[in-house]
Each structure stands twice: as C-alpha cells, then as structure tokens.
Amino acid sequence: MTQSLWLLGSRITILADHTTTDGKYDLIEGYSPPGMQTPPHRHTRYSEQLYVLEGEYTVWLGKNKVVLGTGESVLIPMGTPHVVATLGDRPARGLVVAAPSGFAQLIAAAGTQNEDEAPDIELFNRIATEIGDEILGVPGDLP
C-alpha cells in the first residue's frame, strides 16, 4: 500500500494507514530538504511520534525546542502546538507514527505527484479540519 507524494516541500511515503492497521495508526516516512518548515499546527485527534532515520530535525513543542539527530525521537502529544523543520544544510529523513490513524488521509488527499506542483490549499484545509488538525500560522511562524 506504499504511496509517495509531495506535500508542503517534503516527499512523504505512506507505509501503512487505516486500511492496513484497522485505524490504529499511520506509518509515514518523510524526506525533508534543507529549509523545510511546517506551519505551526496541532493535531486534536491523534498523537505523533517522530523518529529520525538520517539528518537532523528541529521540533518546537509549544515553547520548547528539541533538536533531533539520527536515532533520536520525540512524542508530539495530541493537542500540542508544534513545528517541524530541517534547518541545516542537509536533508533529513524520518518515520512518523500517528495514532490513531488520520494523518495519512491528509497526505493521500492533498499530496501531489510532482515536487513543483502546489497542493490544493482549499482541499488541504478541508481535509485537515475533517481529521481534527488546526493550522495556527504560516511556515516561518513558531508556536
């Protein structure tokens, strides 16, 4: 069921979703080029565990900043405002477990096949709302 798409500057591969996990979790692999930064957001219906496979991710959890290197991970509890960024000069690759399932639905609906193709923001926002995600700013803002 592997599906790779581009969303908000990252190549995201859905490795498992509600169809293979009975809705219990999504397993996602993400590749983030240097300079990638999510907008501040929070998930109101699922938690997110980020494990770094390669490179370095900087994660803001509310006002707390965590820098994760290869082999390190962080739990982003449900409801926590956060930002994930690749601030160095190298790309990063990580695994995300979102539990219960929901995040993969957003990726599958709003992701694009082409890196340079802009996502349909109206569709992105609609699906994000449906799965309980709240966008709290724009890339570059911090929670």
pLDDT tens per residue, range 18-28: 999 999 999 99
Q: So what's the pLDDT on residue 1? A: 60
Whole-Å CA distances, 51 to 27, 35, 48, 91: 11, 19, 10, 15
Please say whether the beta carbons of 97 and 16 come within 8 A: no
Q: Alpha-carbon distance 91 to 9, whole Å?
A: 11
CATH superfamily, domain at 3-134:
Jelly Rolls (2.60.120.10)
Instruction: Return d(Cα 87, Cα 65) in angstroms, integer.
Output: 13
CA distance 105 to 19: 11
According to the model, what pLDDT value does residue 138 have?
A: 85
The overall pTM is greater than 0.85: yes
The mean per-residue pLDDT over the stretch 38-52 comes to: 96
What average pLDDT does the chain have?
94
Residue 63 near residue 143, CB atoms below 8 Å: yes
